[in-house]
Amino acid sequence: MADLDAQDLNRVASSAYSDALQVIASVEPRIAEATRQELADQRGSLKLIASENYASPAVLLTMGTWFSDKYAEGTIGHRFYAGCQNVDTVEALAAEHARELFGAEYAYAQPHSGIDANLVAFWSILAHRVEGPWLEKAAKKNVNELTDADWEALRRELGDQRLLGMSLDAGGHLTHGFRPNISGKMFHQRQYGTDPTTGLLDYDALAAKAREFKPLVLVAGYSAYPRRVNFAKMREIADEVGATLMVDMAHFAGLVAGKVFTGDEDPVPHAHIVTTTTHKSLRGPRGGLVLATEEYAPSVDRGCPMVLGGPLSHVMAAKAVALAEARRPEFQTYAQQVADNAQSLAEGFVKRGADLVTGGTDNHLVLLDVSSFGLTGRQAESALLDAGVVTNRNSVPADPNGAWYTSGIRLGTPALTTRGFGHDEFDRVAELMVDVLSNTQPGTTKDGKPSKASYVLADGVADRVKDASAELLDKHPLYPGLELV
Ligand code: PLP
């Protein structure tokens, strides 16, 4: 089918969704209603969650098909089920788009999510670096030849490995060695943080820690660090201590795809393995992806059955569509705007006296320290939500309020940039947020003690901010022209 122009696309999408909701309502009307309501809610709020976006109708529609019904354990052309010829086409296209977009030697499109992509990466590093040499030493061709005693010995080797990742409160992710996560249990772990004065990564301190700890895996990447990372330096550190460099670019994959992060800031030429989600700044379906060098490709390809079961073929199809979109020149314009808008948002806060971790941003996210408003992250998140501003609370480095109440609010620009917000709108968003936060007081518990959760938002502020947001949102509608009947 030929390319649809924007108007035709909205007309066709409107009828596709309206018809689909009618089909759903014929079985469970409450699900159809919740789906309509979700669109209305997303249209009517300022979405600033840094890990969320709005995928295109093409991406969303691709997920609602009969590919969902197909089992396809295995790899392209080598499946444990019959009849996978179309899944092969889909997976090969998703991998091809990913390789081309990111300039990667190898791409694996099966992980169902970011956490799955990281598990695939960890186990493929262990398989490549530990199991492979161990099998060779034991003169065994593969794991099927191992006796119980061999297994015991191999398990000890695998369980004796070390991982160095960024700590959660410095902006790392749970899967980078946080103790309650499996990554913090399967490896002996140690964490690196940021400089206590500047809030920035300190590569010398990190190198010293790596020299002392000698990890098998050095993990770079973050969920809440508002700055760029020098992956060439990370690779130097990994090489010096013999570690595999794994970069989790889940948050900033869109900025890599859109060529905002190039050279030393592009992880792909520097890392052995790169993992990502596809649904954050990359603006695809919920899912994961692993990119690897040729050297690691065979072990990454063992993702199923190593840690995955049947791939979600309908989601792999949607990944292919989203990656094809990200290869278009418009995506580069979008990605640059995401970064520019984050600057505008940060400047909007700084000029109004708010406190930002690291003092600003040079990626897609801003970490606002709300302790200067006398609030916890939990109180700030709730008050903002009352005013129609959707954010999430987040720890700041050395957070006195811990990971539950926190002292921070993490904000990202990918979603509202998709709606067409630019500099002026993000400056206004900062103004509205400061209005809410400076009119919120911490509350008390039932027995009158200071509370980290309850809060009092001054009368009239929520409505004032909602009205002002509505003006911005109406100017930049979500899925313009998409009307449900
Ligand atoms: N890695 C990073 C850096 C993330 O920020 C996240 C999600 O927030 C994940 C991995 C996990 O992704 P998912 O929720 O798809 O499992």
E-only strand ranges, 317-464 = 355-356, 365-369, 389-390, 392-394, 408-412, 440-444, 450-457
For residue 46, being part of any structural domain is answered with no
Going 347 to 348 to 349 to 351, the CA torsion angle's sign is: positive
Indicate whether 316 and 359 sit together in one domain: no
* pLDDT for 315 beyond 90: yes
405 carries an active-site annotation? no
> pLDDT tier at 343 (50, 70, 90 boundaries)?
very high
For residue 187, being part of any structural domain is answered with yes
**Contact, 274 vs 245, CB < 8 A?**
no
pLDDT of residue 1: 46
CATH number at residue 336: 3.90.1150.10
Question: Averaged over 137-145, what is the pLDDT?
Answer: 90
173 lines ligand 1 (CB under 6 A): yes
Tell me which of 175, 273, 277 to substitute to probe ligand 1's pocket, judged by most ligand atoms within 8 Å of the beta carbon.
277
More confident residue, 11 or 3: 11
From ligand 1's centre to the CA of 114, what distance in Å?
5
Indicate whether 222 and 347 sit together in one domain: no
Alpha carbon of 55 to those of 138, 376, 419, 446: distances in Å? 49, 32, 11, 43
- 220 vs 246: CA distance, rounded Å: 6
Q: Which of 235, 307, 223 is nearest to 272 (CA)?
A: 235
Residue 318 phi/psi, 5-degree rounding, is -70, -30
71 carries an active-site annotation? yes
Indicate whether 423 and 308 sit together in one domain: no
Q: Which long-range contacts (CB under 8 A, 24 or more apart) does 127-134 make?
A: 127/299, 127/302, 127/306, 128/244, 128/295, 128/296, 128/298, 128/299, 129/216, 129/244, 130/157, 130/158, 130/161, 130/216, 131/157, 131/158, 132/299
Tell me which of 52, 53, 116, 223 to substitute to probe ligand 1's pocket, judged by most ligand atoms within 8 Å of the beta carbon.
223
- 54 vs 71: CA distance, rounded Å: 28
Tens of pLDDT, residues 44-84: 999 999 999 999 999 999 999 999 999 999 999 999 999 99
Indicate whether 298 and 356 sit together in one domain: no
Alpha carbon of 444 to those of 401, 449, 455: distances in Å? 16, 5, 8
- 419 vs 53: CA distance, rounded Å: 10
For residue 2, being part of any structural domain is answered with no
From ligand 1's centre to the CA of 148, what distance in Å?
36
Indicate whether 253 and 341 sit together in one domain: no
Residue 254's identity, in one-letter code, is: G
CA torsion angle 250 254 257 262 (round to 10)? -80
Least confident of 5-9, 23-27, 175-179, 256-260: 5-9
Indicate whether 90 and 131 sit together in one domain: yes
- 416 vs 43: CA distance, rounded Å: 11
pLDDT of residue 69: 97
Q: Which of 335, 282, 259 is nearest to 103 (CA)?
A: 259
For residue 156, being part of any structural domain is answered with yes
Q: 52, 73, 202, 427: which is the annotated catalytic residue?
A: 73
3-state helix, strand, coil in the chain (%, to 5): 50, 15, 35
Residue closest via CA to ligand 1's atom 12 equals: 114
**Contact, 39 vs 21, CB < 8 A?**
no
Residue 246 phi/psi, 5-degree rounding, is -115, 125
- Of all atoms in ligand 1, which is nearest to the CA of residue 288? 15
Q: 52, 71, 236, 264: which is the annotated catalytic residue?
A: 71
Indicate whether 144 and 201 sit together in one domain: yes
Query: Could you tell me how far CA 154 lies from the centroid of its own chain?
Result: 33
User: Parallel, antiparallel, or unpaired for β 74-75 and 78-79?
Assistant: antiparallel
Indicate whether 258 and 337 sit together in one domain: no
Number of domains in the chain: 2
> pLDDT tier at 215 (50, 70, 90 boundaries)?
very high
End-to-end CA distance of the chain: 25
Last residue of a domain, one of 310, 326, 342: 326
Tell me which of 173, 286, 315, 393 to substitute to probe ligand 1's pocket, judged by most ligand atoms within 8 Å of the beta carbon.
173
Indicate whether 309 and 351 sit together in one domain: no
Query: Could you tell me how far CA 158 lies from the centroid of its own chain?
Result: 28
For residue 139, being part of any structural domain is answered with yes
Tens of pLDDT, residues 93-114: 999 999 999 999 999 999 999 9
Last residue of a domain, one of 326, 351, 367: 326
Residue 314's identity, in one-letter code, is: H
Tens of pLDDT, residues 410-453: 999 999 999 999 999 999 999 999 999 999 999 999 899 999 99
* pLDDT for 38 beyond 70: yes
CATH number at residue 114: 3.40.640.10
For residue 51, being part of any structural domain is answered with no
Tens of pLDDT, residues 167-184: 998 999 999 999 999 999
> pLDDT tier at 6 (50, 70, 90 boundaries)?
confident
Question: Averaged over 251-260, what is the pLDDT?
Answer: 98
CA 202, 161, 248: angle at the middle one, nearest 5?
50
Q: 70, 280, 393, 452: which is the annotated catalytic residue?
A: 280
Q: Is 242 left (phi over 0), alpha (psi -120 to 50) or beta?
A: left
For residue 50, being part of any structural domain is answered with no
Tokens 């019904």, located at residue: 69
* pLDDT for 3 beyond 70: no
Which tokens is 471 given? 């003006």
* pLDDT for 388 beyond 60: yes
Indicate whether 265 and 405 sit together in one domain: no
340 carries an active-site annotation? no
286 carries an active-site annotation? yes
For residue 304, being part of any structural domain is answered with yes
Indicate whether 316 and 248 sit together in one domain: yes
Query: Domain of 253?
Result: 68-326
391 carries an active-site annotation? no
Last residue of a domain, one of 272, 304, 326: 326
Indicate whether 457 and 311 sit together in one domain: no
The b/e string for 89-105 (b: 16+ C-beta within 10 A; e otherwise) is ebbebbbebbbebbebe
Secondary structure string (H, E, C) spanning 224-278: CCCCCCCHHHHHHHHHHHCCEEEEECCCCHHHHHCCCCCHHHCCCCCCCEEEEEC
Q: How many CA atoms lie within 13 A of 166 on its CB side?
A: 26
* pLDDT for 321 beyond 50: yes
Identify the bridge partners of residue 455 per DSSP, sorted by sequence position: 442
Least confident of 165-169, 210-214, 246-250: 165-169
Q: pTM for the full model?
A: 0.96
Q: Which of 283, 281, 386, 390 is nearest to 45 (CA)?
A: 390
